[in-house]
Amino acid sequence: MSGSRFGRPLAKAGLAAIVAVALLAQPAAATEPSTGSGNFVFTSMTPTGARTADSNTIITANATGALSGALTGTFTEELRQVFHADGTSDFHGTVTCTCTIGGMTGTVVLRFEGSGTGGSAGSVAGQFTVVSATGNLEGLHGQGTFAQTSPAVAGTYEINMHRDP
């Protein structure tokens, strides 16, 4: 009989410990969605290829630049752009940014696409999506829009984002 008296408190303590560990092991909640905006500027652009197909000119290039605002840091970009005979263009590519967002630092990879008119003297607009993030920014999700006007060395962006732990 004395074994069962001591067994109950021990069982209750064990159960309490299991519940406490289970509660501590629960994942933290995601951050609230937030919006931000800022600017970007290109510091260099190096063509890596050019060809024509039908009446289109297709270029590829690598670029570097800087972001300020909600995303702050430096970036590299890989771009493919098709210039059409009617003066319009379509483009897509990838931006890799060593960024600080809300005091947290890491690497963010964005995939973008857009269209425009007038080549480098015109304007373009598009959208982007966060495809991955590392460091303290791991778990970042987001999408946004950007616009770039003549001269095509700078522009603005807006982003909607949240971070899963």
- For residue 116, what pLDDT is reported? 93
Which amino acid belongs to residue 130? Answer: V
- 3 belongs to a structural domain: no
Percentage with pLDDT > 90 across the chain: 72
Greater pLDDT, 57 or 120: 57
Tell me what the mean pLDDT of segment 99-121 comes to: 90
Tell me what the mean pLDDT of segment 26-36 comes to: 70
Domain with residue 90: its CATH number is: 2.40.350.10
Look up the domain containing 97 and give its range.
Answer: 34-163
Number of domains in the chain: 1
Q: How far apart are CA 134 and CA 49, in angstroms?
A: 30
Q: What is the pTM of this model?
A: 0.79
Which of 3-7, 25-29, 116-120 shows the lowest mean pLDDT across its residues? 25-29
Calculate the average pLDDT of the chain: 85
- 116 belongs to a structural domain: yes
- 24 belongs to a structural domain: no
Tell me what the mean pLDDT of segment 133-148 comes to: 96
- 5 belongs to a structural domain: no
pLDDT digits (tens, 9 = 90+) for 57-102: 999 999 999 999 999 999 999 999 999 999 999 999 999 999 999 9
Q: How far apart are CA 39 and CA 150, in angstroms?
A: 14
Name the DSSP letter for residue 27. P
- For residue 20, what pLDDT is reported? 40
**Whether the bond into 151 is cis, omega within 30 of 0:** yes
- For residue 153, what pLDDT is reported? 85
Length of the chain: 165
- 99 belongs to a structural domain: yes
- 158 belongs to a structural domain: yes
User: Cβ contacts of residue 148 below 8 Å, gap of 6+?
Assistant: 116, 123, 124, 125, 154, 155
- 20 belongs to a structural domain: no
The continuous run of DSSP H or E covering 69 comes out as strand 56-69
- 19 belongs to a structural domain: no
